[in-house]
Amino acid sequence: MEKLREIMVKDQIEARGVSDERVLRAMRSVERHKFIPGIHISSAYEDHPLPIGHGQTISQPYIVALMTELCELDGDEKVLEIGTGSGYQAAILSLLAKEVYSIEIVEPLAKSARTRLAELGYDRVQVKIGDGYRGWPEKAPFDVIILTASPPRIPQQLIDQLADGGILVAPEGDYTQELVKIVKRGGTVSKKTVTYVRFVPMIHGD
């Protein structure tokens, strides 16, 4: 599996322009096959999303690496992730940031991700069952916020929980989705589109 990870990073990620060495190292380190249901393990290092149950997916490796690089992590950040899923993106983030707080609305996924991350030793991640649209106000502000599901529009509550100088990376939109990078600085919020993507919709709580 280690050789497959090397090929994944070289052919799918580096070859497409991701160059942050810390991100590439994290992508080589985290064993993606341990975050995927058994039936799909043979496809773990292929460059596409895979189902993880409950109508959710684990993102393709290139998109995980690209979004992580856009976060510009240097190791001291407090990160909020919306959409824990299997825990794979959280594991990557935990190797690159100081603290990772992750919210998952699908209770079975949240519980299994929490167990999996603990068993694999990713102890910088806290997982909460909850509505990602509300964020995690008790732990705010966050230096980085990353969404792994697509809301029609970025919730204002999440932008409010972003620290000054903070970065938010997310897919945005319904049928047509854009990967956007938001920077909050001095009370001003700037947004740029990076590329077009396809994510599962972000689920709203009751």
The answer to whether residues 145 and 168 touch, using CB atoms and an 8 Å cutoff, is yes
User: What is the rounded CA–CA span in Å between residue 50 and residue 37?
Assistant: 9
Q: Report the candidate in 149, 200, 110 with the shortest Cα–Cα distance to residue 102.
A: 110
Concerning whether 112 is annotated as a catalytic residue, the answer is no
Catalytic residue among 19, 29, 59, 112: 59
* Vertex 37 angle, CA 34 and 40, to 5°: 100
* Vertex 194 angle, CA 140 and 190, to 5°: 50
- The residues that are catalytic are 59
